Amino acid sequence: MIGDFDWVQEQYDRQEPPEGKIVATCAYCGCEIYEGEKIYRIDNDIYCSDCVEEDFAEETFYDEPEDY
């Protein structure tokens, strides 16, 4: 029985992780932004976290958070 479990585990480990839903595209680099990823909205454009440094964004573009 244990041999059967090893085969099943190997098949499971070979699977690709599911991709999330694409919700936007970075205005700078054009990469796809997936649901749940951190984004930056600057002048109504959306940027990925690879293109904007958080410290820069907070210092330059920080506004009070909006109520949702």
pLDDT single digits (tens) 18-38: 778 999 999 999 999 988 888
Q: What is the pTM of this model?
A: 0.55
Round to whole Å and give the CA distance between 21 and 35.
5
Round to whole Å and give the CA distance between 1 and 17.
27
| Alpha carbon distances (Å) from 45 to 19, 24, 67 | 24, 10, 20
- Quote the mean pLDDT of the chain: 77
Rounded to 5 degrees, what angle do the CA atoms 20, 26, 31 make? Answer: 60
Residue 62: pLDDT band (50, 70, 90) is low
